[in-house]
Structure 1
Amino acid sequence: MSKIKQLNVDGYTYDIGIKEVAKVADNGFYIADSNDNVALKYDENGLDAAKVSEHLKSLLMSSGGNPSINYDIVSEI
């Protein structure tokens, strides 16, 4: 297990509250809940999320997203 307390992105530091992150053999980055359900995954296939909130959908649409795209809920976390 690796320990992560903060995430640095483009010069900004975020307290993300994750204390331990499991290392995986796959090439990618995974965020999982306490039951090991993967909530967010980034790998060679791109970014994937278990659930997309209405707020995030609205941000995607306001930034030029395609309104004909359907978002499927794969799992409830």
Structure 2
Amino acid sequence: MLIPNELYNVKFAEFIETIKKLYLVDDKFKNICDDYCNSKMNTEKYKRKFEKNFSNKLKSENLSKELEEEVLIYVMRKI
């Protein structure tokens, strides 16, 4: 059984061999690691969603500003 990819990181690098062993033989440690990995995956998922939503928000704000200007220009031409 391989350990999850999230455990291969800079903070754990010097302990990776011990982590591999413990992950395979210690259920409590495995559960902690699995919870950590799930948390990391969720963080990345929400980060991507946030970035996408933020991008969409900016696009919508820009479009609103452009249309606001168009409305004003149109109205000013009609008065």
User: Per the shorter chain, which TM-score range?
Assistant: under 0.3
Higher RCO structure (Cα 8 Å, ≥6 apart):
2
What is the TM-score when the length of structure 1 is the normalising length?
0.17
> Greater Rg, structure 1 or structure 2?
2
Higher strand share: 1
What is the TM-score when the length of structure 2 is the normalising length?
0.17
